[in-house]
Chain A
């Protein structure tokens, strides 16, 4: 038991995490590309045309995985941030910082593809639906986290302040989600109902799952690449970085 704890904490040091991340990145990229090709093939060639929505529905193969990832990455980010705050490990804070831009990208992608889907289906780029609104607020939370980290020069302080913000955000996300949902039902009649998911064809589900896996692997790969860059930047004064760069 004691042995295994020591093994885990070894990678809490930037020096030993840097090469580990470097070894893992190609595998995650490969997985992202394989799942992505499979998912795209199913979503474009295998999945049938939807009876009501025509070909336009195919955007959900990007939209739904992006939405899932945007929410999931915030949780992961808050987890690393909290871990960094409790254990005072440096790599945890760096992981949180590395994950934020990918999460913001996913939220933006989800909003963007949602707008592209909404225009032909609903006839509007944007409606104040509960899901759209809470996704937008999630995007704002990511921006706030990134802006706070960017504004603080001392990286250790930036990590800790960002960690508190991420944890406050995580407590608030369910409150925000339900408040927006209730607000929506109070204001709007049932003009558009997103909650009634149409029973999905099996192939569509498979396409979506493969795309979600591809997005997941891509996020990990990109976050690891970014964390390597952050490690190099913050540890540039050390001897091992000079050797690693050479």
Chain B
């Protein structure tokens, strides 16, 4: 457990020394969501309807931006090999790195979403559901994305390839995440969607670090 926390702290510390990388993804999220009204038009009714979808798609893309950095720097300077050789299990360290990635790339999006939701004229209870859905969904994105990041480690054209591999796997998270807000607006209650999102998070929380570790070992061979 110490190794897990140490990995989280190390990754957070490294990211804080290079703030621009983290902030880029956050600004990307803000800019993309602001582009949609410009493209679609300023009708409040339409914007209110498509807001959850826009915020979710922007969150998917913003998470994707941070993924190539998840392992690449450690791979280049050999830290990853040392982690694989270290006495603590690699899966635990990988889980720590994924958690750090979520804290850096996912959590800011969750915190920003209510503010951006105001731009789309969402009311308070809808904003609450949106934030809750993102809180459950963004760790799922980090977990699934880590598998893709490990598979494309050190591969030609890794960044674009990563998007091709990971985005189809993000679809269930997108559907239930945006669907939760929509169901709430339609008066159906978001409980079912949020439960499914939480179930997927539990499933991915167990399997994704394991699959990521297997993929990393292949990349390190």
A contact residues vs B (CB 8 Å cutoff): 137, 140-141, 143-144, 147-148, 151-153, 157, 160-161, 164-165, 167-169, 171-172, 175-176, 179-180, 182-183, 186
Residue of A nearest to B165 (CB): A144
Contact B151 A148 (CB under 8 A): yes
- B116 at the A interface (CB under 8 A): no
Selected from A165, A176, A179, the residue in CB contact (under 8 A) with B151 is: A165
- B176 at the A interface (CB under 8 A): yes
Q: Which residues of B contact A152 (CB under 8 A)?
A: 155
Residue of B nearest to A146 (CB): B164
Count the B residues whose beta carbon is within 8 Å of the partner chain — how many?
29
Contact A179 B175 (CB under 8 A): yes
- B141 at the A interface (CB under 8 A): no
Q: Assuming A151-B152, A152-B155, A160-B218, is B179 touching A175 (CB within 8 A)?
A: no
Q: Which residues of B contact A175 (CB under 8 A)?
A: 172, 200
Contact B164 A140 (CB under 8 A): yes
Q: Which residues of A contact B164 (CB under 8 A)?
A: 140, 143-144, 147
Give 21 A-B contacts (CB < 8 Å), ordered by A residue.
A137-B168, A140-B167, A144-B161, A144-B164, A147-B165, A148-B151, A148-B152, A151-B156, A151-B158, A151-B161, A157-B219, A157-B221, A164-B211, A168-B169, A169-B169, A171-B207, A176-B172, A179-B172, A179-B176, A180-B175, A186-B183
- B147 at the A interface (CB under 8 A): yes
Distance from B160 Cβ to chain A, minimum over Cβ atoms (Å): 9
Given contacts A151-B152, A164-B151, 7 further A-B contacts (CB under 8 A): A148-B161, A157-B219, A160-B218, A161-B218, A176-B171, A179-B176, A179-B196
Contact B147 A144 (CB under 8 A): no
Docked Cα-Cα span, A113 to B207, in Å, equals 37
**Which 8 A-B residue pairs are closest in the complex by CB-CB distance?**
A179-B172, A140-B168, A183-B175, A144-B165, A160-B218, A179-B175, A151-B155, A144-B164
Q: Which residues of B contact A147 (CB under 8 A)?
A: 161, 164-165
Selected from B147, B156, B168, B182, the residue in CB contact (under 8 A) with A176 is: B168
Docked Cα-Cα span, A209 to B169, in Å, equals 32
Q: Which residues of B contact A157 (CB under 8 A)?
A: 218-219, 221
Distance from B91 Cβ to chain A, minimum over Cβ atoms (Å): 14
